[in-house]
Structure 1
Amino acid sequence: MSAGAEAPISDAVRPDLRADCANCFGLCCVALPFAASADFAVDKAAGQPCHNLRTDFRCGIHSQLREKGFAGCTVFDCFGAGQKVSQTTFEGRDWRAHPGTASSMFAVLPVMRQLHELLWYLTEALTLPAARPLHGELREALRTTEQLTEGGADDILALDVAAHRDGVNALLLRTSELARARARTGRRGKAKNHRGADLIGARLRGADLRGASLRGALLIAADLTGADLSAADLIGADLRDASLGGADLTGALFLTQAQLNAARGDAATRLPSALTRPAHW
């Protein structure tokens, strides 16, 4: 880890915030739409089961998704929302055996996913020593968000999830500022601010992006080979096809597995301990 970087999120990440397909009713394969493109081989409407979904709710081509033209499926992460909706919200009643639940179940999934994504970020924020002054607020936001995920289907669908996200995001931004400032202590120059920047195809090979804000930045096909992204805030950054070969992502803030899965790296790419090296790298 680079000197001054925050400790990466590790065992603090709860298992319930990771996808458990064995306890889900294949919801992402049914509820969500996709269009024929480089990411998906066919069109599929929301609510229509993917033709690769088996009767046991597992994917029939899971080990060959990229080869079969379904790279988009390998990038999606529900943050554990699928099993939460399947086993908690709908108490183990699947949409095939109980078709009356289908439309409500499929509508709940994207809302639950947003809540679980927030739980992931809040859990990580609580592992950051620099954010200690905010730990009380972070714990309260975590508790409130968890309570929202425990509501019934009608309660979840009535939730103004955008408003809740805005409140949590403001707190996460304050967390990021504290963590990035600590990472830059004793270093010359200010941390770069690329929040929301259009960096599509940017040449950032070997760039010093320690403690930088890359929130919501478009880094599609950017060359980040060998770049130092330790303690950089990557929440919402679009890393599709970004080159991360040899890049240092240890201690990167709010990086997710889905972002890594969408990028291109190699054996020399340094990752936070909570995330895994994608099989296609």
Structure 2
Amino acid sequence: MDSLLDTSVFCAAPGETLDLSSRPTLVEPLYSSGKHYRELLSAHVTSLSELQEVHYADNRYAVLLVFQAMDAAGKDSCIRHVMTGVNPQGCEVHSFQHPSMEEHAHDFLWRTTCALPSRGRIGIFNRSYYEEVLIVRVHPEILESEGIANGHPRKEDVWEARFRSINDMERHLHANGTRIVKFFLHLSKEEQRRRFLKRIDKPAKNWKFSMNDIEERRYWDEYMAAYAACLSATSSADAPWYMVPADDKRNARLIVSSILLDLFKGLDLSYPVASSKRKKELQACRRVLLAE
């Protein structure tokens, strides 16, 4: 199935100066009803499942999907709904929480590098190495546990240095066969408030909420500035950032699945063609089986 829209409209141009307050968190829906949404998503999921099977057999590329967002933007549900038809043998999801002491003892890219997908597989990062230029930028005191604060480089130089490291790493991965797509689920502050209230009002969702969520919400403007700087500095032709309007979860899933369809179709995947030697081997196997 073809994607539903021109997904390039959501892509951050390399080097573009971004003001996220001018970017939409809600756009005209791609579906006309709940039934229509389910039909569209089901078709996308089926196509992604078929493409993933060929991707696994083709074994030329690895695919890395990065999801970043404010709390309650719908990262978990987006990954679950869009990737529901993908064979779990060819896909791994990694969620990165607060770094351990061992991880702090290494460079800031180490723990995510260990989780990168191999050829033929899909890796999904639910939060990622980008936390080191987002939450750490909003809370620079975290740098103290990383052995950087009060030392060198200077704090004001840390973010540019980390952007360079990330860009260099992503260029290296692309040159060696990993295709990277990064999603920023762009949620409005008001929609986050509504979703937080639902988490409080629904007992089954209480576990998802804590006072820390309220504390972090107070840094909204600082987070938006950090995201804008990050997306501007690290969106590239090889590893683009897509700013997905996330106030409508259903629409966000259709946009993400459309982008993924474009990605896989652009890889020109195919099943391996058997060599003449391999064909002879298969025919020999066939004769053995028929003779049983």
Q: TM-score, normalised by structure 1?
A: 0.28
Point out the structure with the larger strand share: 2
Point out the structure with the larger helix share: 2
Larger C-alpha radius of gyration, 1 or 2? 2
Q: TM-score, normalised by structure 2?
A: 0.28
